[in-house]
């Protein structure tokens, strides 16, 4: 190999090595492309996220006639919950007749708060939740109502805020029902993976 070509080859190898080294080490020193707040949020525990979001979970009464949650190994099966008015009575009505999608979304979001309170009561802390595994959402709606997923998004969006995008979203079903207990607008049950 001629001297100028050899020099160019070695020079290119040096630049390649520097690039590889920089690509490996630089992300450890400088979190390029990620704001500090996003990193903090990714590292935050569910309880810390609740505080940052200024979310207070509602107090839930003592259950009558049902078990709020059952733990089997590392899975927590949570009973179906319904949204409540300020006076504690159920929020009733049918989507597509009495309420629109936005109101249904808010009702599902309220159920998420109630369920998180039940999970915290059962486990002692939301930090013991590994991830949401499954959501089963039931929407009291008219036969021609087709936006049940958009309603149940209210539940899933809040869980993603609290547990993070990956751990807060699981498999799910969002189905329409002819009626629900107490005439409630929505009922949601869920399964969580929890720490041993």
CATH number at residue 103: 3.30.1330.40
Write down the pTM of the prediction.
0.77
Tell me, what's the pLDDT at 60?
A: 83
My answer on whether 100 and 153 are in the same domain is: yes
Whole-number Cα distances in Å, 108 to 11, 37, 83, 191: 62, 28, 7, 16
- Rounded to whole angstroms, how far apart are CA atoms 67 and 59? 17
My answer on whether 71 and 18 are in the same domain is: no
**Residue 39 located in a structural domain:** no
Tell me, what's the pLDDT at 12?
A: 55
Tell me, what's the pLDDT at 35?
A: 37
Report pLDDT digits (tens) over 62-86: 878 889 999 999 999 999 999 998 8
My answer on whether 7 and 78 are in the same domain is: no
My answer on whether 134 and 186 are in the same domain is: yes
My answer on whether 57 and 154 are in the same domain is: yes
Tell me, what's the pLDDT at 177?
A: 97
My answer on whether 57 and 81 are in the same domain is: yes
Total tally of structural domains belonging to the chain: 2
Report pLDDT digits (tens) over 153-180: 999 999 999 999 999 999 999 999 999 9
Report pLDDT digits (tens) over 26-58: 333 333 333 333 444 566 899 999 999 999 999
Report pLDDT digits (tens) over 105-145: 999 999 999 999 999 999 999 999 999 999 999 999 999 99
What's the whole-number mean pLDDT along residues 11-22?
A: 48
My answer on whether 117 and 178 are in the same domain is: yes
**Residue 38 located in a structural domain:** no
Tell me, what's the pLDDT at 59?
A: 86
My answer on whether 163 and 70 are in the same domain is: yes
Q: Which domain holds residue 187?
A: 46-194
My answer on whether 12 and 94 are in the same domain is: no
**SS3 per-residue string spanning the chain:** CCHHHHHHHHHHHHHHHHHHHHHHHHHHHCCCCCCHHHHHHHHCCHHHHHHHCCCCCCCCCCCCCCCCEEEECCEEEEEEECCECCCCCECECCECCCECHHHHHHHHHHHHHHHHHHHHHHHCCHHHEEEEEEEEEEEEECCCCCCHHHHHHHHHHHHHHHHCCCCCCCEEEEEEECCCHHHECEEEEEEEEECC
- Rounded to whole angstroms, how far apart are CA atoms 107 and 84? 8
> Is residue 14 over pLDDT 60?
no
Tell me, what's the pLDDT at 23?
A: 44
My answer on whether 79 and 150 are in the same domain is: yes
């Amino acid at each position: 190999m001629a001297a100028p070509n050899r020099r160019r080859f070695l020079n290119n190898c040096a630049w390649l090595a520097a690039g590889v080294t920089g690509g490996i080490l630089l992300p450890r020193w400088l979190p390029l492309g990620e704001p500090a707040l996003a990193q903090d949020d990714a590292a935050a525990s569910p309880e810390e996220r609740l505080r940052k979001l200024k979310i207070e979970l509602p107090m839930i009464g003592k259950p009558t006639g049902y078990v709020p949650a059952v733990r089997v190994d590392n899975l927590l099966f949570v009973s179906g919950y319904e949204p409540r008015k300020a006076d504690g009575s159920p929020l009733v009505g049918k989507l597509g007749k009495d309420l629109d999608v936005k109101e249904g979304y808010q009702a599902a979001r309220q159920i998420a708060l109630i369920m998180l309170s039940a999970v915290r009561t059962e486990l002692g802390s939301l930090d013991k939740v590994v991830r949401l595994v499954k959501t089963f959402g039931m929407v009291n709606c008219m036969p021609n109502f087709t936006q049940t997923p958009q309603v149940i998004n209210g539940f899933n969006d809040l869980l993603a805020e609290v547990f993070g995008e990956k751990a807060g979203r699981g498999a799910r079903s969002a189905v329409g029902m002819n009626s629900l207990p107490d005439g409630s607008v929505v009922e949601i049950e869920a399964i969580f993976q929890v720490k041993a």
